[in-house]
């Protein structure tokens, strides 16, 4: 009998290693990977392009009307906004500068959380973000909270930006990360918190392989425990 497809929630601050780890875990398990930060970034890009007022009502309508799709592509994830590939555009500094503000609006969260639940409700999904284990799927079978030292997170984000060819200094990256963490953690709507039942993993000195293995061990342990319980109950 094949194991029940699970919901795996991975939350944490910027640069903690969520996306790479979540994508690899999904690959190993044959699950769908959903980067919910990319969805908030896509709405932010759409707002910039349409000069949308940064108000709850206007952004909510924009989020509802935006067709955002996440597709696997060459070991990465392609982000389509109304059919256009915006994978690179959503990582640029102008989007990063407003995404925390845009994602703090309740109307935007309502529209995107609804879609995230539709995608993940059947299980077989690894979803990363800030509120997956606390709000989107509080009943997720496996919940992980990834953290890392600020210096290490800055180093990773700087490397990513340089790989994309961006001209950005280490100080700028540090400033962005610190202010985004503060904003994301202190907003009224679904702030970044370690969800109840989440296992915290400090990735400061871990390799990606080690992070992936730790999460796969949590998955196996969940599956083993629950198959034993099911067998006892005669399911
Ligand atoms: O993971 P990221 O850095 O691409 O996320 C961009 C922003 O989106 C982040 O600063 C906060 C917001 N976000 C959120 O509020 N809730 C999520 N589930 C995912 C991201």
pLDDT of residue 216: 98
- The domain that holds 194 is classified in CATH as 3.40.50.300
Mean pLDDT for the stretch of residues 18-37: 96
230 in a domain, yes or no?
no
> Mean pLDDT over all residues of the chain?
93
The domain of 77 spans 7-225
Nearest CA to ligand 1 atom 18: 129
**CB of residue 14 inside a 6 A radius of ligand 1:** yes
pLDDT at residue 82, as a whole number: 97
The answer to whether residue 153 is domain-embedded is: yes
130 lines ligand 1 (CB under 6 A): yes
Is residue 87 lining ligand 1, measured as CB closer than 6 Å? no
pLDDT at residue 11, rounded to an integer: 97
Q: Please tell me the predicted confidence (pLDDT) of residue 166.
A: 86
Number of compact structural domains in the chain:
1
Ligand 1 atom closest to residue 103's alpha carbon, by position in its atom list: 15
Q: Is residue 187 in some structural domain? A: yes
Distance 17 CA to ligand 1 centre (A): 13
pLDDT tens-place string over residues 207-216:
999 999 999 9
Q: What is the pLDDT of residues 124-163, one digit of tens each?
A: 999 999 999 999 999 999 999 999 999 999 999 999 989 9
Quick check: is 1 in a domain?
no
Q: DSSP letters of the chain?
A: -PPPPPEEEEE-STTSSHHHHHHHHHHHHT-EEEEHHHHHHHHHHHHHHTT---SHHHHHHHHHH--EEEEEETTEEEEEETTEE-TTGGGSHHHHHHHHHHHT-HHHHHHHHHHHHHHHTTS-EEEEESSIIIII-TT-SEEEEEE--HHHHHHHHHHHHHHTT----HHHHHHHHHHHHHHHHH-SSS---PPTTPEEEE-TT--HHHHHHHHHHHHHHHHHHHHHHHHHHT-
pLDDT of residue 104: 95
Query: Is residue 232 situated within a structural domain?
Result: no
Task: Determine, yes or no, domain membership for 27.
Answer: yes
Q: What is the pLDDT of residue 128?
A: 97
Q: Is 0.85 topped by the overall pTM?
A: yes
Q: How far is the CA of 1 from the centre of ligand 1 (A)?
A: 37
What's the pLDDT band for 235 if we cut at 50, 70, 90? Answer: low
- The pLDDT assigned to 228 comes to 65
| Candidate from 25-29, 58-62, 127-131, 224-228 with smallest mean pLDDT | 224-228
More confident residue, 10 or 180: 10
Q: Is 100 close to ligand 1, i.e. is its CB under 6 Å away?
A: yes
Question: Considering only CA atoms, which residue is closest to atom 2 of ligand 1?
Answer: 37
Residue nearest to atom 5 of ligand 1 (CA): 37
- Residue 119 within any structural domain of the chain: yes
How confident is the model at residue 73, as a pLDDT? 85
Q: What is the mean pLDDT of residues 173-190?
A: 92
- Residue 230 CA to ligand 1 center (angstroms) comes to 37
Ligand 1, atom 6: closest residue by C-alpha: 37
């Amino acid at each position: 009998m094949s194991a029940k497809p699970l919901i795996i929630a991975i939350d944490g601050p910027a640069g903690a290693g969520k996306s790479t780890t979540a994508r690899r875990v999904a690959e190993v398990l044959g699950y769908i990977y959903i980067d919910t930060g990319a969805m908030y970034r896509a709405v932010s890009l759409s707002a910039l392009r349409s000069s949308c007022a940064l108000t709850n009502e206007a952004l909510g309508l924009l989020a509802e009307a935006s067709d955002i799709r996440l597709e696997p592509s060459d070991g990465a994830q392609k982000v389509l906004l109304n059919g256009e590939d915006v994978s690179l555009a959503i990582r640029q500094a102008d989007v990063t500068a407003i995404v925390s503000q845009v994602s703090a609006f309740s109307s935007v969260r309502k529209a995107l959380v609804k879609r995230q639940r539709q995608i993940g409700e059947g299980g077989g999904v690894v979803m990363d973000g800030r509120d997956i284990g606390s709000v989107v799927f509080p009943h997720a079978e496996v919940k992980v909270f990834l953290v890392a030292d600020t210096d290490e997170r800055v180093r990773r984000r700087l490397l990513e930006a340089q790989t994309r060819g961006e001209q950005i200094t280490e100080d700028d990256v540090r400033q962005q990360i610190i202010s985004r963490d503060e904003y994301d953690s202190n907003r009224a709507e679904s702030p970044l918190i370690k969800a109840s039942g989440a296992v915290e993993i400090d990735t400061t000195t871990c390799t990606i392989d080690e992070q992936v293995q730790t999460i796969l061990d949590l998955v196996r342990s969940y599956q083993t425990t629950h198959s034993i319980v099911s067998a006892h109950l005669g399911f």
